[in-house]
Amino acid sequence: SGEIKIGLIGCGGRGSGAADQALSSGNYNFKLHAMGDAHQDRLEGSLKNLSTKHKDQVDVGERKFVGLDAYEKVIAECDMVILATPPGFRPYHFEAAVNAGKNVFMEKPVATDAPGVRKVLEMGKVAEQKGLKVVAGLQRRYQKCYREAYKQVKENNLIGDIVGGQMYWNDAGVWVKDRLEGMTEMQYQLLNWYYFVWLCGDHINEQHIHNMDIANWFIGSNPVSAQGMGGRQVRTGKQFGEIYDHHTVEFTYANGVRINSQCRHQKGCYSQVREEL
């Protein structure tokens, strides 16, 4: 019944959107209480926009923290944290939040490499033991049309057993930001985090994970093997870091079901984001 103090860690578009959604939920005990980001301008811009839209629910004051250690300071000030930085940092921010006894909403993906995934799994068990609530941003699980489709397929047996499927995230791609004069390599990579594997995990991990989550959800398990191919055909410049611009992968499940997946960032090509089982 008391005020719930929300801390926002990562004040870019997705983090600001998640904070806006929390404050728009109709629970007026929610207050945005602290904010942290690696970039001062991102934090200030987010704070201005959220304060304009949710005047009575934003009470950040001096609790604005900038730098790679900002997450520690935000966690100390709040009851619940929104983790929305580039996902390369997510496992360690999650660890700090759980150790501090805070409830968590964290954006997908939750990690960019195997050690990070193991860290999240480990801390998920700790969170459960502590009675903390943790939600990840795989939003299709909460979308009415998907939930109804799941009911029709799993409860009403609409199509019988799933024997295969296609998953697509093919579109024109995302932003790229110019390198500014005097910017360090670290600052540049943080600003263009999508293009660096240690921060993003590449296109399958960062975006196509939504589609693959649908396959796993409806099939009821995770793949046991995968084989595929990918490369850089159009995004070959240095400004595009090191990620691929196209992938195709065949995922095989223990029951023999195969899911073929495509994800591509190329302008002027066949574009669709959907799942078919």
Distance between CA atoms of residues 192 and 196, nearest Å = 8
CA–CA gap between residue 40 and residue 252 (Å, rounded):
45
Residue 1 has pLDDT above 80, yes or no: no
Q: Which residues of 96-107 are buried (b: 16+ CB within 10 A; e: fewer)?
A: bbbeeebbbbbb
pLDDT tens digits for range 40-75 = 999 999 999 999 999 999 999 999 999 999 999 999
- 227 pLDDT more than 90: yes
How many other C-beta atoms lie within 10 A of the C-beta of residue 171?
A: 17
- Is 0.75 surpassed by the pTM of this model? yes
Amino acid sitting at position 178: D
Rounded Cα distance between 112 and 46, Å, is: 26
How far is Cα 221 from Cα 213, in angstroms, rounded to an integer? 10
pLDDT for 28 equals 86
Q: Are strands 80-83 and 4-9 parallel, antiparallel or unpaired?
A: parallel
Q: 90-99 and 114-130 are packed helices; what angle lies between their axes, rounded to 10 degrees?
A: 20
